[in-house]
Amino acid sequence: MTVALIGYILILLALCIGFCTIGRGSRGTRYAVLGSVAGAIGLGGLFVAAGSGPQSPRLHDAGLALFAVGVLANFYLLKRYFDEVEGDRHVSALRRRAAGRATKNMVALAIILVGAGTVGFHFLSPWWWTPIASNWGYVDDTIIVTFWITGVVFVAIVLFMAYCVFRYWHRDDRRAAYEPENKKLEWWLTGLTAVGVAGMLTPGLFVWNQFVTVPEDATEVEVLARQWEFAFRLPGKDGVLGTSDARNITPENPFGLNRSDPRGHDDVLIEGAELHLPINKPVKVLLRSIDVLHNFYVPEFRAKMDMVPGMITYYWFTPTRTGTFDALCFELCGIGHYAMRVKVVVEDDGKYQAWLTQQPTFARMLAQAAE
**HSE, side-chain direction, 13 A CA sphere, residue 178:** 0
Per-residue x/- marks for Cu ion, 308-347, CB under 5 A? ---------------------x---x------x-------
Please report how close the Cβ of residue 353 comes to Cu ion at its closest, in angstroms.
30
Binding-residue total with Cu ion (CB under 5 A): 4
Cα 106 to Cα 78: distance, rounded to the nearest angstrom = 14
Cα 221 to Cα 214: distance, rounded to the nearest angstrom = 13
Residues 6 or more apart from 229 whose CB is under 8 A from it? 271, 272, 340, 342
Cα 294 to Cα 287: distance, rounded to the nearest angstrom = 9
Chain centroid to Cα 67, Å, comes to: 19
Per-residue x/- marks for Cu ion, 81-120, CB under 5 A? ----------------------------------------
Q: Closer CB to Cu ion, residue 294 or residue 302?
A: 294
Stretch that binds Cu ion, among 30-38, 76-84, 248-256, 287-295 (CB under 5 A): 287-295
* Among residues 233, 294, 302, 304, the one that binds Cu ion under rule CB under 5 A: 294
Q: Closer CB to Cu ion, residue 19 or residue 315?
A: 315
Beta strands in the chain, from DSSP E residues, in sequence order: 219-226, 229-234, 268-271, 275-278, 283-289, 294-298, 303-307, 313-317, 323-329, 341-347
Please report how close the Cβ of residue 299 comes to Cu ion at its closest, in angstroms.
16
Please report how close the Cβ of residue 340 comes to Cu ion at its closest, in angstroms.
4
Q: Which SS3 state, helix, strand or coil, does residue 135 take?
A: coil
Please report how close the Cβ of residue 288 comes to Cu ion at its closest, in angstroms.
13
Q: Closer CB to Cu ion, residue 104 or residue 294?
A: 294
What dihedral angle (degrees, nearest 10) is formed by the CA atoms of 274, 280, 282, 287?
20
Q: Closer CB to Cu ion, residue 98 or residue 286?
A: 286
- Contact footprint for Cu ion (CB under 5 A): 294, 329, 333, 340
